[in-house]
Structure 1
Amino acid sequence: MRLGDSINQLAKWLSLGRVINMPELKNVPQLPIWTDENRFSLEQRARAYLDVNCGHCHIKGGDAYNTGLFLDYDVKIPSHLGIDKAPVSAGGGAGGLDFDVVPGDAKHSILLYRMNSVEPGTAMPELARSIIHKEGVDLIRQWIDNMPSKK
């Protein structure tokens, strides 16, 4: 595939023999497109972004399983999404903040704090990242700030 090609990655891998026994594409679930404000809600887009960028570790069985923060798209339990959940393993990476996600208050949410850092031990995701993804941080900030506050 060349830069600029537009083909479904699964279809391409299937054609190359890199995947086998795949169901028909129409039966493969798809996440919302995190940049598509016209077709998907802020909640859907933020959750899809977190799944793709964080869910590989923050999932049952993943490297961040011990945190109790699960960011795969299908999670329904608010505390598993970090809502009003105290961190269990962030240490100094929590920036002195008390909860992973504070509804209506992104600036006091550890999730956003860690996404908005490049400092080793604080920055999330921690691998292969030397810059802040400003569009992603802005999306998650909007999502948290738009949650109903409990105040």
Structure 2
Amino acid sequence: MVRTGLFFITVATSVIFYTACKKVEPIEIPDPGTPSNKVSLVLSIVPYQKLSSYRFFQGDIKNQQPADGVMEYEPISSLFTDYALKKRFIWMPDGKSADYVADSDILNFPVGTALIKNFYYDHVMPGDVTKILETRVMIKKASGWIFAEYIWNEEQTEAYLDMNGGYVDITWNRNGQELSTNYRIPSETECKVCHKLNDVPIPIGVKPQNMNKNYNYPDGVKNQLQKMIEMGYLSGSLPPNINTVVNYSDATQPLELRLRSYLDINCAHCHSAGKHCDYRPIRLGFSETVSKTNMGLCVEPGEMIDPAMNYIISPSNINRSVMHFRLNATNESVRMPLLGRTLVHQEGVQLLEDWINSIEFCE
């Protein structure tokens, strides 16, 4: 007897009508033992074919109203993905909780955890509408984390499992400027490029250093980590002082602290030990960029892009800095990050420029 969730009935027979064959697809039927207002996640059969089958959201799912037990959260600094907006959620089974490991480490989530991330745009043309493009779900099974990629239909009534990736042409208005891109929805292989440690799939942003901030919940403003403790989603005690990133868009914060926070969320998932680009001579995690050498200051790139670019970061010279060149590029062979963007993040490039121009000498 499945305690909670959905189960599949697969009809394997083919019915022949004259010369035509009709394939009968798997059918998802709610488990009558699960209340309709509860999340349904059965580890033995996920990922489901439809996003709605999980019941992460109540009412019309395009409104992204979290169901009972689904916690919305927001990192202090966000990964740039062609200016897409994001809504993120956490759900855990009853009686299960995560454990603190370290400020800069992913929380140790229990089996059964689901991390949900929706990508959408406001002011989409024509019509000036909101449009959700994809929802990425990571689910922790006993064997480890799995990816489930859901692509939304044009009607915005449902999202369907598709692990092959794809493209969506989109035009939208951002702060009075019309932007367009052929938005990339990642394949399963592409997901793993960024979401891995020693070739094992892992989440990226759910670290205490990224979540130690207040959020406006329906029952009031609360620190996100304390909210997790209140919900029973985080056990044990937290250290009194968490080494916390800043919002890189906050101009009131110190310039170097902003850049370090930017590099952590946008680059460290590859440029860290055991990650995709660990062979590169830089380490861009927030706890490691206290050293400017780890950031690439006066460090030779180990590759020849242009003889004029002699260092990853050249003091006071953006034209001789490989990091600036890569961050400002859109060509797939040289841009950084490798995946997740087709446009240049103008604000991120400006932040890097400002910092490079503030550095006068090698350490």
In the superposition, the TM-score normalised over structure 1's length comes to: 0.79
The structural deviation recorded for 1:56 is 1.1
Which position in structure 2 is the counterpart of 1:55? 268
Q: Secondary structure at the match of 2:332?
A: coil
Which position in structure 2 is the counterpart of 1:42? 255
**CA separation in 1, counterparts of 2:230 and 2:340?**
29
Change (3 A) 1:22 1:146: farther
Which position in structure 2 is the counterpart of 1:121? 333
**CA separation in 1, counterparts of 2:231 and 2:359?**
44
Q: Secondary structure at the match of 1:144?
A: helix
Which position in structure 2 is the counterpart of 1:85? 299
Which position in structure 2 is the counterpart of 1:67? 280
**CA separation in 2, counterparts of 1:48 and 1:24?**
21
Change (3 A) 1:144 1:24: same
Q: Does 1:134 align with 2:346?
A: yes
Q: Does 1:101 align with 2:348?
A: no
The structural deviation recorded for 1:22 is 6.4
Q: CA contact under 8 A between 2:225 and 2:234: conserved in structure 1?
A: no
Choose which of 2, 13, 30 in structure 1 pairs with 2:244: 30
Give 5+ residue unaligned stretches, structure 2. Answer: 1-63, 66-86, 88-214, 218-222
Larger Rg: 2
**CA separation in 1, counterparts of 2:230 and 2:301?**
44
Q: Which amino acid aligns with 2:250?
A: D
Change (3 A) 1:50 1:15: same
The structural deviation recorded for 1:41 is 0.6
Change (3 A) 1:9 1:62: farther
Q: CA contact under 8 A between 1:118 and 1:130: conserved in structure 2?
A: yes
**CA separation in 1, counterparts of 2:360 and 2:285?**
21
Change (3 A) 1:116 1:16: farther
Give 5+ residue unaligned stretches, structure 1. Answer: none
Q: Which amino acid aligns with 2:336?
A: M
Structure number with the higher strand fraction is 2
Q: CA contact under 8 A between 2:229 and 2:235: conserved in structure 1?
A: no
In the superposition, the TM-score normalised over structure 2's length comes to: 0.36
The structural deviation recorded for 1:109 is 0.3
> Which of the pair has the greater relative contact order for Cα pairs under 8 Å at 6+ separation?
1
Structure number with the higher helix fraction is 1
The count of residues paired between Structure 1 and Structure 2 equals 144
Q: Secondary structure at the match of 2:279?
A: helix
The structural deviation recorded for 1:29 is 3.6
Q: CA contact under 8 A between 1:105 and 1:149: conserved in structure 2?
A: no
Change (3 A) 1:13 1:101: same
Q: Deviations over 1:113-143 (max 9, x none)?
A: 0000010120101111111100000001100
Q: Which amino acid aligns with 2:339?
A: L
